Amino acid sequence: MEVFKARALDYDAWYVKHPSLYESELLAAARLGCRGGVEVGVGTGRFAAPLGLRAGVDPVREMLRLAPRELDLVEGVGEMLPLRRRAFPCALLVVTLCFVQDPAAVLREAMRVAERVVTCIVPRDSPWGRRYREAAARGHPFYAKARFYTVREVVEMAGVAPSRVVATLSYGPDAAEAVEEPREVSVEEAEEAGFVCLEFRSDDF
């Protein structure tokens, strides 16, 4: 997590540099809804605040300092959330699993503290996933620290089928960036999208 401590402003600047991608991703997460919930790996609050979440947890204090003050922010790790069981109606994880040591444990903790879990990923073998992995191989400061997963692998970590799957960024990284409306898809269809959100219900576990 040292790179996030040292380069918190650089991380946040991505959203300013790529507004159409950011808006597309917001729309996808919003389709599954997490208002009043908690974001695990909240970072600078780029999703939690506009989506109406109440709280956020992140291990990097430098990121939390950049997050909006209306959020209840807690410093902590996803594998051991400092939160009560079923404290929130929803837990949101946006491109979080690829940066944690034990993604399955993070999912279990999210399911413990919330009634629903919405986790959003960049599928490993999608055009966007391949582009980011190429950047990682060239030493990109953030992507080099990431381990990308397929949608199927995330489902296997959860141990149950998702109740809903929403995808966006059906175009590739070489196309002109544009805002795209999300759509509900199957797990198989989601593998080719650039940004995918899966909803899991805690009662299914």
Which pLDDT score, from 0 to 100, does residue 205 have?
61
pLDDT tens per residue across span 168-200: 999 999 999 999 999 999 999 999 999 999 999
Residues of the chain with pLDDT under 70: 1, 204-205
Q: Which amino acid is at 23?
A: E
Which pLDDT score, from 0 to 100, does residue 204 have?
65
Q: Which amino acid is at 73?
A: L
C-beta separation of 61 from 75 below 8 A: yes
What are the φ and ψ backbone dihedral angles of 179, each rounded to 5 degrees?
A: -70, 130
Q: Measured between alpha carbons, how far is 151 from 58 in angstroms, rounded to an integer?
A: 23
Which pLDDT score, from 0 to 100, does residue 125 have?
98
Which pLDDT score, from 0 to 100, does residue 16 have?
96
Which pLDDT score, from 0 to 100, does residue 5 have?
83
Domain ranges for the chain: 2-203
The SS3 assignment for 92 reads strand
Chain center to CA of 87:
20
Q: Measured between alpha carbons, how far is 115 from 201 in angstroms, rounded to an integer?
A: 6
Integer angstrom CA distances of residue 135 from 69, 116, 123, 140, 154: 33, 33, 15, 5, 22
Which residue in 169, 178, 201, 204 sits closest to 28, CA to CA?
A: 169
CATH superfamily of 2-203: Vaccinia Virus protein VP39 (3.40.50.150)
Which pLDDT score, from 0 to 100, does residue 127 have?
98
Start-to-end CA span in the chain (Å): 30
Q: What is the pTM of this model?
A: 0.96
Q: In this structure, what token pair is assigned to residue 73? A: 């922010």
Which pLDDT score, from 0 to 100, does residue 202 have?
80
